[in-house]
């Protein structure tokens, strides 16, 4: 199994990071995509993967930075001659999200124009995904892969369900948190995993700043708690991701973040602090995610 990090940033546009997107590629050539934030489709091509060859997309929750490239992914697959429907997994509301995109939806004009041509009529199912709303438990299984999902603690479930997932294939196990505060369900999903991919959106100092000022959501996992999760779950390796722009030196991002972060503290040096805090609890292999990072398991 190969894991490619297509996007490792968070909600803001970032000069060096796309939004959330992780590709799982099996040795038999099958591909599975987890989240589809801004830039994901382009990054698939950068990674040498045809979007039309991705069998399944799993959206962990419906925040824009995890879903907003999905229309581009579907339309590109249609143009690239995907022969049939791809599977779309997601929380309650994912059907409403998808059903309002294509035929009769936001991209009706594009659909009407392209479906006029015989070549696009021939693979019209490519723009009609097989939509499956998730609930805790096994959400997808075939001869090659099993995906198990559980609710995590990001925002109230009555607003938007949020899931973490456990992926088992080719004798390896990968767990992916989506967005979440520390929670027992992620410890269970990650138990004895070969790789835990877990959000670590802010360093401890930024989490405290946001709690103190009441700005934005702080239902994320800090590095100290992430180290505890990795240790308790006995994971073989850990890759933090979904970095909330704390490392940026961009003047544009610093201006946008002026009410969200202590912007004078922003910069890549904060990864040293994060590593130290994770290492206080977890002593296994640790790699901070970056766009187009590839890990072979």
pLDDT of residue 70: 98
Q: Which residues of the chain have pLDDT under 70?
A: 216-218
* Tokens 């994060």, residue located: 274
pLDDT of residue 227: 98
Interhelix angle 223-233/270-279, nearest 10 degrees: 40
3-state helix, strand, coil in the chain (%, to 5): 30, 25, 45
Distance set, CA 37 to CA 8, 159, 173, 216, 229 (Å): 10, 20, 23, 19, 25
290 three-state secondary structure:
coil
pLDDT of residue 55: 96
- Report field, pTM of the whole predicted structure over 0.85: yes
Q: Which burial class, exposed, middle or buried, applies to 118 when counting CB atoms under 10 A from its CB (0-12, 13-18, 19+)?
A: exposed
How many whole angstroms separate alpha carbon 216 and alpha carbon 113?
Answer: 40
How many whole angstroms separate alpha carbon 79 and alpha carbon 185?
Answer: 39
pLDDT of residue 212: 83
- pLDDT tens-digit series, residues 96-132: 999 999 999 999 999 999 999 999 999 999 999 999 9
pLDDT of residue 261: 87
Tell me how far apart the 2 most distant CA atoms of the chain are, in Å: 60
pLDDT of residue 216: 66
Among 288, 176, 188, CA closest to 241? 288
pLDDT of residue 217: 63
Q: What domains can be seen in the chain, in order of their start residue?
A: 2-296 (3.60.15.10)
């Amino acid at each position: 199994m190969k894991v490619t990090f297509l996007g490792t940033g968070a909600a803001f546009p970032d000069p060096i990071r796309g939004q959330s997107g992780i590709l799982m590629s099996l040795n038999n050539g099958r591909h599975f995509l987890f989240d589809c934030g801004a830039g994901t489709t382009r990054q698939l091509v950068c990674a040498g993967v045809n979007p039309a060859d991705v069998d399944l997309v799993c959206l962990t929750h419906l925040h824009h930075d995890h879903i907003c490239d999905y229309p581009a992914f579907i339309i590109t697959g249609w143009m690239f001659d995907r022969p049939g429907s791809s599977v779309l997994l997601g929380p309650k509301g994912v059907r409403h999200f998808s059903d309002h995109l294509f035929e009769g939806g936001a991209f009706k004009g594009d659909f009407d124009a392209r479906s006029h041509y015989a070549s696009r009529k021939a693979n019209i199912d490519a723009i009609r995904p097989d939509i499956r709303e998730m609930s805790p438990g096994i959400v997808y299984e075939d001869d090659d892969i099993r995906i198990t999902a559980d609710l995590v603690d990001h925002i109230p479930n009555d607003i938007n369900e949020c899931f973490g997932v456990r992926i088992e294939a080719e004798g390896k196990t990968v767990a992916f948190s989506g967005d979440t505060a520390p929670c027992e369900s992620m410890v269970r999903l990650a138990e004895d995993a070969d790789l835990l991919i877990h959000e670590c959106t802010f360093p401890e100092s930024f989490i405290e700043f946001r709690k103190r000022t009441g700005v934005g959501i702080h239902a994320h996992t800090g590095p100290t708690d992430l180290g505890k999760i990795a240790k308790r779950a006995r994971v073989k390796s850990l890759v933090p991701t979904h970095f909330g722009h704390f490392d940026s030196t961009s003047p544009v991002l610093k201006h946008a973040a002026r009410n969200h972060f202590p912007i004078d503290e922003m910069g890549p040096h904060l990864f040293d602090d994060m590593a130290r805090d994770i290492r206080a609890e977890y002593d296994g292999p640790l790699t901070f995610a970056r766009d187009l990072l590839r890990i072979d398991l």
